[in-house]
Structure 1
């Protein structure tokens, strides 16, 4: 079992480095499957397996984003005047998202995750620059 976790952790790291996303796409299904396998689908943990998997992935993302933000802050590369107006909207979105997740069954959360996964993959595949080069009229942000 530990070798499977090690392998999946490696895949999550590689996909994150290569594509800029991927950790949660590997970790959430892995944790879900692992929790169901170990505890059974009818146990309390089995019934909450999707909630636990998504919450674990979210906690890791919050930690990583906080660490990254702190490091950028120390390098003075965060434009706080652009970030501050968004803080309230982010907080409201987080509270609404958490309330929605708690009110939904694990099956709904699982299908929402599958839908999100599909949309993200389609976006990455269809957006210029991921599978094919963007046209010459596309400029980096801030270049006018």
Structure 2
């Protein structure tokens, strides 16, 4: 895949960062698997590590330009952020040692189970109601800190940033989609930072001597730079002028993107 194509796909990762809180992970992983296909089975490991770096920058930038009144919903979430980071470090270490083929199938299976859960269980597409009438009142509830470690571990292992778990959890806790997706970025930042540190310093990285792929640890810096070049301007524009999307349409599009990512991973 050439640099121009990666930059173009980076534009898409910028849009998913703002609109869905993904930080680019669900787009980045299949794309880097495709771009680094010459690495064979190791392409999945490199893709998840490269995705962590892309998400770190995307989520950090998106968080920096998010209004403080929105970020205020995470006040008092220090324990959750610390456990997300601890779980992410463990998940990133697992990426470097687990069989590469296993990661691909866990990625696809996890997306399939999550999409089915969001479609079938109340609370995501259809807000929970009392007596079948009005949405539950009392305001959004905070995410339990105990969820931090497992979310961080799974997210870092798959290179997806955690939004596939945090957005549905915040949605069911009472947040509208625009708030849940915005808050996913600082939570992704807590996951991507330790995951990137582990990936950049990884020993025993796959040999790319015959694949013309230069790696730093497990990270492909060329692919990451091209994706970020496309993503960052889009994040800046969409954060300034966010599109107005009906809440239920927004939730449905989120599920659709999960399905598209799973199909892309199978295709690559």
Task: Indicate whether the TM-score tops 0.5.
Answer: yes
Deviation at 1:21, TM superposition (A): 4.2
- Report which stretch shifted further, 49-58 or 125-134: 125-134
Contact kept? 1:25, 1:117, Cα under 8 Å = no
**2: distance between equivalents of 1:80 and 1:19?**
18
- Structure 1 consecutive aligned stretches of length 4 or more whose deviation exceeds 6 Å: none
The corresponding residue for 2:135 is 137
- Report which stretch shifted further, 118-127 or 18-27: 18-27
**Larger RCO: 1 or 2 (CA < 8 Å, sep 6+):** 2
2:40 aligned with 1:35, yes or no? no
The corresponding residue for 2:25 is 24
Deviation at 1:57, TM superposition (A): 1.6
2:94 aligned with 1:100, yes or no? yes
Superposed CA offset, 1:9-64 (max 9, x none): 4554555666554933232112212211xx2xxxxx33320011111222222222
RMSD, aligned α-carbons: 3.4
2:21 aligned with 1:47, yes or no? no
TM-score, length-scaled by structure 2: 0.40
Contact kept? 1:31, 1:53, Cα under 8 Å = yes
Contact kept? 1:32, 1:49, Cα under 8 Å = yes
Change (3 A) 1:66 1:117: same
The corresponding residue for 1:116 is 110
Contact kept? 2:24, 2:55, Cα under 8 Å = no
> Number of residues paired by the alignment?
135
Deviation at 1:99, TM superposition (A): 1.8
The corresponding residue for 2:58 is 64
**2: distance between equivalents of 1:7 and 1:69?**
22
- Report which stretch shifted further, 108-117 or 55-64: 55-64
The corresponding residue for 1:42 is none
**2: distance between equivalents of 1:8 and 1:88?**
31
Change (3 A) 1:17 1:134: farther
Unaligned runs of 5+ in 1: 40-44
2:80 aligned with 1:86, yes or no? yes
- Higher share of residues assigned helix: 1
Q: What is the DSSP-based 3-state SS (H/G/I as helix, E as strand, rest coil) of the residue aligned with 1:48? A: helix
